[in-house]
Every structure is written in structure tokens, then in C-alpha cells.
Amino acid sequence: MANSNAAVVIAIDNDAMAKMQSPDERRQALRMIEAVLFAAAEPLSADGLAARLPEGSDIAGLLRELQGLYAERGVNLVQVAGKWSFRTAQDLAFLLSRNAVEQKKLSRAALETLAIIAYHQPVTRAEIEEIRGVATSKGTLDLLLETEWVRIRGRRRTPGRPVTYGTTDAFLSHFGLDTVADLPGIDELKGAGLLDSRVPANFAIPEPHAGPELTPDEDPLEPGDDGRG
């Protein structure tokens, strides 16, 4: 029994030692995580970064330190959709806008539909039409699916079993959001002129559900069912 306890203590001590780095080792780890993020073609998760750094590296601490170092720089370290990447500082975005190529030009109908999906997900086509007050063409939804900002989540447990729509990590990444909880609130929408300042006092922004898990009134798609039929 004594030998068993000793083994446990040794294991704990070794684990603690793995997390202890000298100042030089920490500086090197900081340089490594900076290099990995700089070269990455897409945002990386903490687990993905840990797999590239020496075992026992303080990933959370290194990210906080690196974020602080870049806070006043031309590029910032930001977390989007739970992952990390370098982005141009928001106040300097105007410098790049003149050279930006417009790759996706969405119609007003598509933008309205995207906003409804973002705030009301999971939502069906009929529910989108009820909120907009006009019919929504299949082409509009297909276009949003092609942008990969919108996905088909499952099927509603109602007659006809209509498909439900939600946003994707690509949507969060494009709009610089960590989660859908970071979507603009009432005050921000009013300030941007996107919401009438005379909205009723009891008006509230809905709480979207964008997680991978389905809600109680959703069924998963059956094998071979892509939801577009």
C-alpha cells in the first residue's frame, strides 16, 4: 500500500512539474504559439494549440499574455467561435476596405433571412416567413446554405416535419463573434439604425440556440436526408 501511495505522489509531482516552466521556456512557448497562430490558415482551438506546443504548456495563460501584447497593435488576437486567430484591429479595418473584393453580395431578402435565422434559431422556413411577413424563396435559403453561414439542423416535430435552420462556426468567424450570445442587443441595433427607436417597452431580443445538440422539438436528419428534398 505504501508503494502505491508513493506512486500516486510521484505521478502528481510529475504532472505539477510538467506545468512549471522557466522564464526562458515560457518565452519560447510564447514565441511558438505566436508563430503557430500567425501561420494558421484558420482559427485554432486551445486543444489544437496544445498539440503543437511542448507538453505541460500553460495554453490559457500564454493566450492571455499574447492577447495583451497585441491589444494595442495593428492586429489583435481574438477568440471567434471558441477558437483563436489574429485579426486586423477593428479601428484600422478602413485601411483594407478599399482593396477588399466583394465575394458574397447578399440581397436584402437574404440579409433579412440570415438575421432571422441568427436570432431565432432553430427556425423553419414557415417561421421565417411569419416573422418577415412575406414569402421566402427556396433560392434565398439555398444561397445562404452555399455561403456556409447557415446549416440545416434537423426536422421539427410537427406535421410535415419541416427542416430547421441555424448558423455555423463560419458565420461566427466571418462576423467576428465568439458565440451567438455576442450578437448585437437592442441598444446596439438601435444605435446602428437597424431597429426602430420606438419599439414597444416589452420588446425583447430572442435567445437563439446554436449549439450542435438538438432542441426537444427537433429530430435529427435520417441517413440520406440532406433536408433539401
pLDDT tens per residue, range 129-149: 998 889 988 889 999 999 999
Q: Tell me the mean pLDDT in the region 106-112.
A: 87
Distance CA 209, CA 212 (A): 9
What is the per-residue pLDDT for 6? 40
What is the per-residue pLDDT for 190? 66
Residue ranges and CATH numbers for the domains of the chain are 2-96 (1.10.10.10), 108-219 (1.10.10.10)
Pull the grid cell for residue 56: 505541460
Residue 96's φ and ψ, nearest 5 degrees, are -100, -15
Distance CA 195, CA 190 (A): 5
pTM: 0.59
CA dihedral sign of residues 73, 78, 84, 85: negative
DSSP states along 124-188? -HHHHHHHHSS---HHHHHHHHHHTSEEEEEEESSTT--EEEEE-HHHHHHTT-SSGGGS--HHH
